[in-house]
Amino acid sequence: MIRYDLRCDKDHRFDGWFASAEAFDTSKAAGMVACTVCGSTHVEKMLMAPALRAERPLAPTAREEALAALRRAVEENSDYVGMNFAAEARAIHDGDAPERAIWGEARPDEARALIEDGIPVAPLPFTGPRKVN
């Protein structure tokens, strides 16, 4: 079953349940979807966020193992550029540096500027290598 937020041509809002997206389309085409307030059959689906079920959370040990595996994969398949991440990502995007996978650190304003400029970046759930004295 799928639930849609619906709106009629008189801006009444209501919801409806259908067996599938195709079932909604078929019912609407047949004039069988009507506003619950005024009866209008001029009904459209409204933009809505999908309803997702959360999966069962991982046990702490499994979370730690998954995080360690992610970190290994990142370290093995990309170059750590430290605090130069924003500049290096921009240079790669602009074609001024060789294309390659990188990871590093950026201030929030630098990350926001990269995203606003359409440069694909994503946060990682861990920090760079720790320096020891």
C-alpha span between 41 and 4 (Å, rounded): 15
8 found inside a domain: yes
Q: Show the DSSP H helices in the chain as ranges.
A: 21-29, 60-77, 85-94, 108-116
121 found inside a domain: no
40 found inside a domain: yes
Confidence of residue 132 (pLDDT cuts 50, 70, 90): low
91 found inside a domain: yes
Is the pLDDT at 85 greater than 90? The verdict is: yes
Domain that holds residue 8: 2-45
Is the pLDDT at 42 greater than 80? The verdict is: yes
What is the average per-residue pLDDT within 47-74? 83
* Residues 41 and 11 placed together within one structural domain of the fold: yes
Q: How many helical (H) and strand (E) elements, i.e. helices and strands, does the chain have?
A: 4, 5
128 found inside a domain: no
Give how many domains the chain has, as a whole number.
2
80 found inside a domain: yes
| pTM score of the predicted model | 0.55
* Residues 30 and 7 placed together within one structural domain of the fold: yes
